[in-house]
């Protein structure tokens, strides 16, 4: 069935009348030709003109400007376009956009010869050029459009600043990072020179500097003060978004610094064992074990302020009901529980005085026993803290993983 209404075609008896009528109207337009009008009138008044129909002749039908085909500019001998025509214009097939350099190179003779090595179209951050990326980001932050600066909260732009700050102090060519203070006297950059001795390729892990961690935490602290949570605008990006990011980067900082120091100590210990430890080397092995215990003790000392800050934040709304913060605090409790358990089984005698300086005992064994009991009690307390937080999450409708559910029901 045709989409358009077919053109009206008169019958054979009506064609002669219409032809004469159209001829008469055309002659009337010629006002200067009077004889033509008289001749046309006499022909119309001649008797028997209508009674003798013409057979075998076809009248030429003029163009009808109201014809849908004519209006659409579509010839009748062609098929109609597919829908949504005629309710929408005919869409031309999409042509692939050819780059201007390829188009110029395809001319004869070519006006441009592309280089043999394709250009790297990746951004500075993807190439690892952190210095150039920092300068570009600084320009964008200071830019203004119609007198207004950009809002770094839109489209997750705030995370770009933290990423760039964390890369401060990283040597782009060597990938070496700054020394980790408080976790031994070893330079953390030497960890990367010991590849092949450990179970993990250290360079495969993201490399962040201690200075970068500190700058990133200060950056999040400023964002929290600049964009606090308000009841009038609860759905915009504010401190409720920045607090989880702050604690995540803080936890990662402490764990990464401790892990790098322990990996370095374990690598050195494995090299001594492969060479064959003699009686004189056993004391050095004991010193390394004590060094690892000291590293874990420093990790615990830096993890406690994180838990204290989170506990203060969870005292009031809206943070006391945020599932992300509750889950993160529960995981920190499990982390602290493991650290306290390690301190309880640590053979280092230096920890006895550092953790139980207020305990007086006539012999060292009593102090060690009190330290073990204290650390075990703290480990159990943190485990109970984690169970309580997971129960709060489950009561609020958050689905817990299978391992967490088994831990809560123990």
At residue 66 the predicted structure's pLDDT band, cuts being 50, 70 and 90, is confident
pLDDT of amino acid 378: 93
Q: What is the pLDDT of residue 405?
A: 83
Per DSSP, 156 falls in state G
Q: How many CA atoms lie within 13 A of 140 on its CB side?
A: 12
- Quick one: average pLDDT of 317-327? 91
Tokens for 108?
A: 């004869």
Listed residue (270, 285, 260, 288) closest to 196, CA to CA: 270
- The two tokens of residue 347 are 């053979």
Cβ atoms of residues 197 and 271 within 8 Å = yes
Contacts of 303 (CB under 8 A, 6+ apart): 251, 254, 332, 335, 336, 339
- What is the reported pLDDT for 404? 85
Q: Is residue 68 within 8 Å of residue 4, measured between CB atoms?
A: yes
Q: Token pair for residue 35?
A: 């004889």
Phi, psi torsion values for 290, nearest 5 degrees: -65, -35
Task: State yes or no: pLDDT of 121 exceeds 90.
Answer: no
User: What pLDDT score was predicted for residue 19?
Assistant: 72
Q: Is residue 399 over pLDDT 80?
A: yes
Highest mean pLDDT among 47-61, 116-130, 140-154, 238-252: 238-252
| Mean pLDDT for the stretch of residues 189-202 | 40
Which helix (H) or strand (E) is 145 found in, with range? Answer: strand 144-145
Specify the pLDDT at position 192: 39
Instruction: Tell me the C-alpha distance between 244 and 252, whole Å.
Output: 12
Mean pLDDT of the chain: 75
- 10 vs 229 pLDDT, higher one: 229
Q: 334, 349, 303, 331: which is closest to 393 by C-alpha?
A: 331
Q: In 3-state terms, what secondary structure has residue 153?
A: coil
List, for residues 198-223, the tens digit of each pLDDT value.
444 444 556 788 888 999 999 999 99
pLDDT in tens, 335-378: 999 999 988 887 654 455 554 444 554 544 567 778 888 889 99
**Contact in structure between 199 and 277 (CB atoms under 8 Å):** no
pLDDT of residue 302: 94
Q: Which residues contact 101 (CB under 8 A, 6 or more apart)?
A: 112, 114
| Dihedral (Cα; 295, 298, 304, 306), 10-degree rounding | -80
| pLDDT score of 47 more than 50 | no
Angle at 137 between CA 131 and CA 143, to 5 degrees: 140
First to last CA, the chain: 75
Query: Using CA atoms, how far apart are residues 371 and 343, in angstroms rounded to an integer?
Result: 8
């Amino acid at each position: 069935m045709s989409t358009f209404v077919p053109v009206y075609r008169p019958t054979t008896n009506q064609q002669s009348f219409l032809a004469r009528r159209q001829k008469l109207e055309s002659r009337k337009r010629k006002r200067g030709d009077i004889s033509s009008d008289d001749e046309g009138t006499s022909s119309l008044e001649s008797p028997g003109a209508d009674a003798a129909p013409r057979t075998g002749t076809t009248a030429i039908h003029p163009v009808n400007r109201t014809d849908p085909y004519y209006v659409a500019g579509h010839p009748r001998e062609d098929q109609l376009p597919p829908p949504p025509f005629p309710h929408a214009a005919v869409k031309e097939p999409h042509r692939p956009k050819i780059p201007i350099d390829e188009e110029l190179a395809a001319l004869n003779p070519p006006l441009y010869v592309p280089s043999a090595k394709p250009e790297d179209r990746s951004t500075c951050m993807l190439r690892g050029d952190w210095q150039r990326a920092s300068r570009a980001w600084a320009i964008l932050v200071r830019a203004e459009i119609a007198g207004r600066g950009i809002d770094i909260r839109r489209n997750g732009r705030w995370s770009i600043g933290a990423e760039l700050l964390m890369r401060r102090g990283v040597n782009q060519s060597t990938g070496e990072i700054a020394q980790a203070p408080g976790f031994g006297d070893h330079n953390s950059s030497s960890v990367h020179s010991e590849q092949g001795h450990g179970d993990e390729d250290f360079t495969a892990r993201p490399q962040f500097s201690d200075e970068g961690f500190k700058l990133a935490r200060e950056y999040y602290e400023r964002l929290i003060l600049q964009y606090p949570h308000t009841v009038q605008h609860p759905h915009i990006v504010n401190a409720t978004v920045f607090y989880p990011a702050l604690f995540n980067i803080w936890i990662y900082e402490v764990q990464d610094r401790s892990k790098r120091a322990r990996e370095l100590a374990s690598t050195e210990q494995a090299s001594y064992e492969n060479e064959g430890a003699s009686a004189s080397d056993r004391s050095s092995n004991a010193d390394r074990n004590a060094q690892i215990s000291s590293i874990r003790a420093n990790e615990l000392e830096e993890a406690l302020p994180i838990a204290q800050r989170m506990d203060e934040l969870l005292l009031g709304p809206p943070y006391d009901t945020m599932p992300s913060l509750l889950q993160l605090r529960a995981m920190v409790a499990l982390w602290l529980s493991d650290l306290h358990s390690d301190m309880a089984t640590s053979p280092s005698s230096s920890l006895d005085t550092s953790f139980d300086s207020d305990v007086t005992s006539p012999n060292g064994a009593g102090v060690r026993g009190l330290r073990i009991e204290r650390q075990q009690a703290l480990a159990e307390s943190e485990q109970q803290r984690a169970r309580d937080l997971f129960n709060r999450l489950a009561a609020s409708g958050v689905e817990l993983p299978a391992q967490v559910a088994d831990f809560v029901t123990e």
